Structure 1
Amino acid sequence: MKCYIYIYSPLSSKKLLTYYPFIFSHMDTWFTITVSLCLIFLLRVLLSLLQKSSTTKINNPFPPGPTHIPIITPIIWLTKSVSQIEAILKNLHTKYGPIVTLRIGSRPSIYINDRSLAHQILIQNGSVFSDRPITLPSEKILTSNQHNINSCSYGTTWRILRRNLIAEMLHPSRVKSFAQTRKWVLDVLLKRLKSDIKSSASIKVVDHFQHAMSLLFVFMCFGQRVDDEILNNIEITERTLALSLKRFVVLNFWPRITKFLFRKRWEELLKVRNNLEMALVPLIRARKEAMQSGLCNDDNNNPRAYVDTLLDLKLPNEGQRNLDEGEMVTLCSEFLNAGI
């Protein structure tokens, strides 16, 4: 491409003419390459989506739903909030019936709004629909690729994790072993309440109960009494994680695109996970060192903690391997959230 640039000299009204063929020939080349690559990428995505949608219609017919336009429809859904999607779903159920198919992300989602149909699916045909779906991108990070009880696919790993929790922590004999711990936590609660009564006219009781329950479950999980600084750090980290889950939902729609469109939110997700590991990994390592040195005796004064059971656990369907630190962080976080 040949281009002329007209430059006006401030010392003269005469128009000066300069010619830069070399620079603009290179600019033209890079522009052509960039546009061509973008067009190739868009055409490839469009063709693959059209091929998938046509194959799906022939082999696996879905319930009715709104028209799906590749690329355009997912982008429209990305602009909607969770509350807006819920309102749209109500209108779609009115139009299409109790079962509606939406293609919000890369995979179709079926929404059911009928009690009898839900009973048929979950109860009468539970063996067909009982398994968990493949983990979504944001959940994959937060659940260590589905290595916790709440999200793990039904199978050997799920049964082992669930059996371990029930037998080692929820069994009545195990609950009784923490009687001394509960007495200690109750004493701490009463002391904090009495101190607050003397220092202020009103008391926010829920904060004191929250603190007491956090002390109890942190001890049950890691087998040690922690100071208020460590406890507050764990509480803040877990609360931040719980409150941020809705913000990360959008990252599951077309992850290849949302990683670029919502790059800061992906970084926020990784930061939340990193903060969780920074809060819990030191406690896991400290308990591991105590076990290796023989300081962990299973008695009323030092009952077996949840992390002790995780350190001894092996996954037979994954080569009899032990859980890694990330997976133990996920399971401990699940334990703390469920209890507190």
Structure 2
Amino acid sequence: MEIHLLSFNFIAFLLFISFIINSLVKGWKKSNSLDKHKNLPPSPWKLPVIGHLHHMMGPLPHRSLKNLATKYGPIMHLKLGEVYTIVISSRQIAKQVLTTHDLAIADRPESIGMKILWYDYTDIAFSPYNDYWRQMRKVCIVELLSNKNVRSFSHIRLDETSHLIKSIQSSSGELINLTSKIFSFMSSITSRAAFGELLKDQETLITFMKKGVALAAGFDLADFFPSVKFLKYVTWNKFNLVKMRRQLDSILDVIIAEHKDVLATGKTSNGELGGEDIVDVLLRLKESGELGIPITNDNVKAIIFDMFTGGTETSTTAMDWTMAELMRNPRVMAKAQAEIRQAFNGKKTIEESDVQKLQYLKLIIKESLRVHPVVPLLPRACREECVVDGYTIPKKAKVTVNIWALGRDPEYWDEPEIFKPERFENTSVEFLGNNFEYIPFGSGRRFCPGMSFALANIEYPLAQLLYHFNWKLPKGMTPNNMDMTELLGISGMRKKNLYLTATPYQPLVDG
């Protein structure tokens, strides 16, 4: 009986493997036949079935793609499984993609992770370019992310920064996980601004966000072979994502229910200082019928998770990298602290308006975003076939602009691997999407709507951290042996948390 069962299982396994190979080969033959009729950009050598996937075996795609671009040029064609992928690594071609062909290449690539965790692409960041996306992007910008609204959240930033400083002061002289403290700080600001209060399950949501951002990066086997339908059902990542989605639902459903309960009592809002938060706005618009495209509870949850992820992950990543670079560059740290401490000397209270005068601090943030863009690979997808730099970009092809590579290209930057904030002095280069060698917030129709919110959440707390504390690396660690590698995922978060020792700064008092 055992022998018979073993034979049966072995035969079933062989049939399963044969089915996979047969399905993949059919897909490869079909897509390979299309290559002959397209004037595609140059590409490396490829293998049957998997195409160019073997060229992506390095730990970080943006680094692998930069290395390939040095050999095959600033516009490259890769076949990652069945998926056409066009990689852009020059500012001239990036400008064509993000301006001339912006509308044609305005979609987002599909990913099993994004589909599950962001409610069938009904958020803003990963939604396809359509009427729904335009509607919801406008709602979020007007109701939460406008410059006026960002300024109105000043009291939240000041309050949470005060909590952050006190938390670090209570651990004076001890080794602290600064990355973790920044994550909690940023999530608290986002929660209070978007949801009107701190979330009871904030730490759980942060955990889901970190795992989700890693799993939803589009590097699952099913993402590379979309025509092989059964792969979507057997991938291990999908089971993890579905489990996370159920847990995410349980948290977000509570947020919505609590807001509905408060509104049912006759109150007009849940937000701080009596204003509406984003959940109030979405529920009001959902029930009023004012929207051209009606929305559901799942749509509301997609936007909620989007706002929390975007407001927390991106700002944390940028601030964490900035502190890490300051620790690696004592000269820059000393110069920044001298500017800040001179500007704040004698002030009992430091306002956000005081920070606006700190020119060198702004240069540091710009340089940090050049060397460590929050999203190393800008993802787009082609809505209709078009021609870029003389090459055909097929419909539904992924189009990836390597922001990380652009920021480190010696053609555009002097000594690009050196952290040198002074490079942004007396230059017109800005991160507003018009200088295509430097687009940390993207460009065109899908320019990051949360840029002002993110910068406001970085500048003031960073100035406070540098003013109130002198910082040291852990015993035995030097600036030269710090681990500065990134995690695999949508965002370019540091792989290892930043542990530092903070000693309170004692300003000199005259007399």
TM (norm. structure 1) is 0.70
1:50 and 2:34 equivalent? Answer: no
1:269 and 2:245 equivalent? Answer: no
Matched residue, 2:498 = none
1:162 and 2:140 equivalent? Answer: no
Distance in 2 (alpha carbons) for counterparts of 1:30 and 1:299: 59
Residues 145-171 of structure 1: per-residue CA shift (max 9 Å, x gap):
221221222221111111101211234
Gaps of 5+ in 1: 1-19
Q: Equivalent residues in 2 for 1:1-340 (5 A)?
A: 39=18, 42-43=21-22, 45-58=24-37, 60-73=38-51, 76=54, 80-83=57-60, 85-86=61-62, 88-129=64-105, 131-171=106-146, 174-175=149-150, 182=156, 186-187=158-159, 190=162, 193-194=165-166, 197=169, 200-201=172-173, 211-226=184-199, 230-245=201-216, 249=220, 252-254=223-225, 256=228, 259=232, 263-297=235-269, 301-313=273-285, 320-325=293-298, 327-340=299-312
8 Å Cα contact 2:41-2:75 kept in structure 1: yes
Q: Match of 2:189, as an amino acid? A: L
Query: Quick check: which has more Rg, 1 or 2?
Result: 1
Higher relative contact order (CA 8 A, sep 6+): 2
Which SS does the other structure have where 1:103 is aligned?
A: strand
Distance in 2 (alpha carbons) for counterparts of 1:164 and 1:92: 40
- Distance change in 2, residues 1:56/1:313 (3 Å): farther
8 Å Cα contact 2:124-2:137 kept in structure 1: yes
Q: CA deviation at 1:220?
A: 2.5
Q: CA deviation at 1:222?
A: 2.1
TM (norm. structure 2) is 0.49
Q: CA deviation at 1:274?
A: 3.2
Q: Match of 1:115, as an amino acid? A: R
Q: Which has the higher helix share?
A: 1
Which SS does the other structure have where 1:111 is aligned?
A: strand
Which SS does the other structure have where 1:276 is aligned?
A: helix
- Distance change in 2, residues 1:153/1:199 (3 Å): closer
8 Å Cα contact 2:286-2:295 kept in structure 1: yes
- Distance change in 2, residues 1:298/1:173 (3 Å): farther
Distance in 2 (alpha carbons) for counterparts of 1:149 and 1:27: 50
Q: Match of 1:223, as an amino acid? A: G
Q: Match of 2:41, as an amino acid? A: P
Which SS does the other structure have where 1:301 is aligned?
A: helix
Which SS does the other structure have where 1:294 is aligned?
A: coil
8 Å Cα contact 1:178-1:300 kept in structure 2: no
Which SS does the other structure have where 1:237 is aligned?
A: helix
Distance in 1 (alpha carbons) for counterparts of 2:7 and 2:198: 67
User: Please, which moves more after superposition, 266-275 or 293-302?
Assistant: 293-302
Distance in 2 (alpha carbons) for counterparts of 1:140 and 1:152: 9
Distance in 2 (alpha carbons) for counterparts of 1:43 and 1:116: 41
Distance in 2 (alpha carbons) for counterparts of 1:195 and 1:30: 58
Residues 241-263 of structure 1: per-residue CA shift (max 9 Å, x gap):
345555955552226475577x4
8 Å Cα contact 2:79-2:85 kept in structure 1: yes
| Residues paired across the two proteins, number | 306
Residues 44-73 of structure 1: per-residue CA shift (max 9 Å, x gap):
542443133214422x33222234443254
**What RMSD in Å do the two structures reach over aligned CA positions?**
4.1
Q: Match of 2:31, as an amino acid? A: K
- Distance change in 2, residues 1:251/1:124 (3 Å): same
